[in-house]
Structure 1
Amino acid sequence: MAALDGKHALVTGGSRGIGAACAKALLAQGATVTIAGRDSAALGNAAQTLGGKVRTLVLDVCDEAAVQRAFAQLGAVDILVNNAGQAVAAPFLKTSAAQWREMLDVNLGGTFHCTQAALPGMLAAGWGRIVNIASTAGLTGYRYVSAYTAAKHGVIGLTRALALELATKGVTVNAVCPGFTETDIVRGAVANIMQKTGRSEQEARAELAANNPQQRLVQPEEVANTVAWLCMPESAAMNGQAIAVAGGEVM
């Protein structure tokens, strides 16, 4: 038997990038996986690519009522990977209140809503794994993404507080903090650097990769492998951790 046979995992933002890689890694360990996101077509394409025991769920994690309805229909969720996220770059004084709220709603609010919806079933079962995809931005400061950075710091704070609250309940809560990773968010950052500085794509990518002592972008599969490990029954002692997957950027 695979390590996660009989477990149902929900991955938010699961149609691409880190989310899709997490779904693949959990499938490989025997879990049944539901991938959630706002784009029905993208979810369908991802499910077709992933194959296996994959279901799709169209969901806006910012909508509390929609999250509650969706989880009521899903049945028990043993593993929750809160991956849905978004980044907007702007100097602090040019960050609008709307952008601030959006970053908090998607990155922190979505984690809050999905965790509240999944947790009762985990507590009833006496077993559960919650993995929040944060960022190295949640462990340190990044220029020009103050709202995103604040939200990811909030995700790590929530992770630590909830881990202590649930420590004797059979449910673990951890955060995984990728550095600059080959995802749509980084591709957007590259495009932004090119537009504002006139640098080439290669130069822009090199600027982001320079944050990593290994001088490269992290791959989604490297993040997903860490997530899958945290979901194993044998990882029960891992709780309240914020693990950087960043080549040594944060120590």
Structure 2
Amino acid sequence: MTDLAGKRALVTGGGSGAGAALALAFAGAGAEVVISGRRAEALAATAARHPAIRCVQADVTDETSVKAMFAEAGPCDIVVANAGAAESAPLGRTTLEQWNAMLAVNLTGTFLTFREGLAQLPGWGRLIAVASTAGLKGYAYVAPYAAAKHGVVGLCRSLALELAKKPVTVNALCPGFLDTEMTDRSVANIVEKTGMTAEAARATLAATNPQKRLIQPAEVAAAALWLCGPGSEGITGQALAIAGGEV
């Protein structure tokens, strides 16, 4: 069991999905947890599930907002850049606005979170990005998202080398399709565009995993806890696929 008593963890996008699972796992391991996001109601609902969790409303695409987020959170030993979004469309019908939006939340948001998080690290630290298998391979119709997640993996690898002589590790967690609200939206999009049933659409996504299932948010949280526990000191600059063998 990882003991995080005396540590403070910040999780962006902590109001739902993997972010909520990460927050609850860190709190369960004894850490003080700060979750952030744009949706105050979702943040409050997650914070209500454990007394060690508090919330800060913030937008990771905005530099001023990220600075304010850390100022309110206080020094954080563990920083998880989890906030993200996905949209699907053929590249030929993808607007510049859509492209920029995907890079802003998925890549620039990680950069801003890591940069500010690093600046206030008290010493020992863990910087973790929740990327995706889309950061390790391509998927059709999500080129901007995949490009952003590839960028996140590159960011983690480069920053890990910069910090190699310090007690700070930097890693990316790369889950396949998760059983979360984001995947629910992907299912709805498939249904709308193909006429497929929701059950069939979900099965299509699950089929990308050789285990023929969606990854559970708790599996991402378990991997994050491992990266924060004893014996993880040499694990840095890695992109860890949580995808049933897909990658």
Indicate whether the TM-score tops 0.5. Answer: yes
Give 3-state SS (helix, strand or coil) of 2:231's partner. Answer: helix
Give 3-state SS (helix, strand or coil) of 2:161's partner. Answer: helix
Shift of 1:207: 0.5
Shift of 1:227: 1.0
Q: Do residues 138 (structure 1) and 132 (structure 2) align? A: no
Give 3-state SS (helix, strand or coil) of 1:234's partner. Answer: coil
CA contact (8 A) 1:38 1:60 kept: yes
Q: Normalization by structure 1: what TM-score? A: 0.96
Q: Do residues 193 (structure 1) and 193 (structure 2) align? A: no
CA contact (8 A) 2:103 2:148 kept: yes
Shift of 1:2: 6.1
Q: Do residues 218 (structure 1) and 215 (structure 2) align? A: yes
Shift of 1:121: 2.2
CA distance in 2, matches of 1:148, 1:220: 19
CA contact (8 A) 1:3 1:233 kept: no
Q: Identify which of 134, 148, 152 aligns with 1:151.
A: 148
Shift of 1:84: 0.1
Counterpart AA for 2:101: E
CA distance in 1, matches of 2:69, 2:219: 29
- The match for 1:13 is 13
CA distance in 2, matches of 1:133, 1:170: 21
Q: Normalization by structure 2: what TM-score? A: 0.98
The 1:79–1:164 alpha-carbon spacing in structure 2 relative to 1, beyond 3 Å, is same
Q: Which runs of 5+ in 2 are unaligned?
A: none
CA contact (8 A) 1:164 1:240 kept: yes
RMSD across aligned positions (CA): 1.1
CA contact (8 A) 2:2 2:225 kept: no
- The match for 1:89 is 88
Report Cα offsets for 1:50-106 as digits up to 9, x if no partner: x13111000000000111122123221100010000001000011100000000000
CA distance in 2, matches of 1:233, 1:133: 21
CA contact (8 A) 1:130 1:171 kept: yes
Q: Do residues 243 (structure 1) and 237 (structure 2) align? A: no
- The match for 2:68 is 69
Shift of 1:231: 1.5
CA distance in 1, matches of 2:126, 2:198: 38
- The match for 2:109 is 110
The 1:151–1:2 alpha-carbon spacing in structure 2 relative to 1, beyond 3 Å, is closer
CA distance in 1, matches of 2:9, 2:161: 22
